[in-house]
Structure 1
Amino acid sequence: MGLRELKKQQMRERIGDTAWRLFAERGFDRVTVVEVARAAQVSEATVFNYFPTKEDLFYSRFEALGEQLVEAVRTRPPGESALAAFRRRLLATSGLLARVEAGDTTALTRLRTVNRMIADSPALQSREQRALTACVDALCGALAAESAAPDDDVMARVAADALFGVHRALIAHVRRRVLSDEEPARLATEVRQLAERAFELLEDGLRDYGVGRRS
């Protein structure tokens, strides 16, 4: 990555992180793009250059993780399956869940605020589904590009849907748990265990998919 690209990436992350912090503290509807720009110390036009809509700002972290999952599969070492690479990257993610498990009550409040915003907003739910679909499409393209087999576009779609299906199911589980009345003190451990079980469920079918296809 060149210096210019690195600076653009850093600026995008800075704006996205600032917006996400404000959304988590005050709620999606109570934060304006102008306020995000002011907090990030950039112009409003700069924010819109990186994020065309306010919903794009909200999902910047979510989409970054999706891109990282796809990249983990795309750059996996020879001999590693697509499933193993996807699982390795997903299980390396902790974020707010790890802080909640460590007893950080502020992290739990933010986690609940963010998920309540999504649960209460059809627009955000729709944007989340579009983001997931884009991630599946990207992973499907990466997998299909590895082979010239006539039916590989179909197999790649099946594999991409299955792998991101685990991610989607875990997101839904976390949302249900943090919005309930119970205290999810061990939610990070619970999610990791559920992820392991989910990947085990897929493993017989996908264990050898993509092995030996990258040189």
Structure 2
Amino acid sequence: MGLREQKKERTRRHIADTAWALIAEHGFARVTVAGIARAAEVSEATVFNYFATKEDIFFFRLDEYGEHLVQGVLDRPAGEPVTAAFHRVLLAQGGLVDQLDDGDPQALARLRTVNRVVAESPAMQGREQISLTRTAELLAAALADSADSAGEDRLTASVVAHALIAVQRALVLQVREAVLAGELPPGLAGRLARSAAEAFALLERGLGDYGA
């Protein structure tokens, strides 16, 4: 990444981090793009250069994480099935839930903010589904390219991709239920890992060797 691209990426993250801080303090509905621009010390035009809507700013991290998941699957070692690679990347250490288990107060604040905002707004729930569906489609396209070269069915690649994202979706909802119920005990990461293991075991009985 060149210096220009690095500067643009820093600006993008600065805007998103500023927006998150404002939303955590005031709530999503009360924060405006103009307010985000003022707090970030950039123009409204600059904000819109990076994000089409306020919702896009809020879901920046989820969108980015989806791209990370897809790239992790593409970079899997030779012979590793797609299901195993997705499982490994999805539960890689260092994520928000791991930070929560480590007692990071900022991680707890972020987790509460995102889940409260999404739970309170059908529109935000819809945008969240758009982000997850986008990840599924990116993964499906990447798997389809490999399927073509291997002479396999592109439809199967799409089914596999959407099944894998369904596991991610289920884990997101499991965390949300815990957050909204005020139940965030130590060991949440381990509990999610066990849930994921059960879900992926179910998929592997049908998808186990796909992409190996």
Tell me whether the two structures share a fold, i.e. TM-score over 0.5. yes
Deviates more, 1:195-204 or 1:181-190: 181-190
Aligned partner of 1:70 in structure 2 is: 70
Stretch moving more, 174-183 or 94-103: 94-103
Q: Where does residue 185 of structure 2 map in the other structure?
A: 184
CA contact (8 A) 1:23 1:114 kept: no
Residues 152-186 of structure 1: CA deviation (Å, up to 9, x unaligned): 22101110011111100000111111101434332
Shift of 1:77: 2.7
Range that drifts further, 120-129 or 89-98:
89-98
Residue 156 in structure 1 maps to residue 146 in structure 2: no
Compute the displacement of 1:194 (Å).
Answer: 1.2
- Partner amino acid for 2:97? L
Does the Cα contact within 8 Å between 2:147 and 2:157 map onto a contact in 1?
no
Task: State the distance in 1 between where 2:80 and 2:169 align.
Answer: 23
1:56-102 deviation line (CA, Å, top 9, x unaligned): 01100011111100111122232222112211211115443233323
Shift of 1:7: 2.8
Aligned to 2:5: 5
TM-score normalised by structure 2 residue count: 0.89
Question: Match of 2:101?
Answer: 101
2:176 corresponds to which residue? 175
Contact 1:73 1:82 in 2 (8 A): yes
1:110–1:62 distance in 2 versus 1, CA, 3 Å:
same
Identity among equivalent pairs (%): 55
Give me the whole-angstrom Cα distance separating, in 2, the residues matched to 1:62 and 1:11. 18
Taking structure 1 as reference, are residues 195 and 116 closer, same or farther at Cα in structure 2, changes over 3 Å only?
Answer: same
SS of the aligned residue for 1:147 comes to helix
Task: Specify every segment of 5 or more residues in structure 2 that has no aligned partner in the other structure, as ranges.
Answer: none
Contact 1:83–1:203 (CA<8 Å) still a contact in 2?
A: yes
Amino acid at match of 1:174: V
Across the aligned residues of Structure 1 and Structure 2, the Cα RMSD in angstroms comes to 2.0
Pairwise CA distance, 1:104: 4.1
State the distance in 1 between where 2:26 and 2:90 align. 28
TM-score under structure 1 length normalisation: 0.88
CA–CA separation in structure 2 for the residues paired with 1:4 and 1:81: 37
CA contact (8 A) 1:178 1:184 kept: no
Question: CA shift at 1:35, angstroms?
Answer: 2.4
Q: Does 1:59 find its partner at 2:67?
A: no
| Matched ranges for 1:1-215 at <5 A | 1-92=1-92, 94-105=94-105, 107-148=107-148, 152-211=153-212
CA distance in 2, matches of 1:84, 1:76: 9
Paired residue secondary structure (1:20): helix
Structure 1 residue 132, shift from structure 2 partner: 1.1
Q: Distance in 2 between matches of 1:87 and 1:6?
A: 30
What CA distance in whole angstroms lies between the structure 2 residues aligned with 1:95 and 1:75? 19
Q: Which has the higher contact order (CA 8 A, sep 6+)?
A: 1
Q: Tell me how far 1:134 sits from its aligned partner.
A: 1.0
SS of residue matched to 1:14 = helix
Q: Take 2:74 and 2:89, find their aligned partners in 1: how far apart are those partners?
A: 12
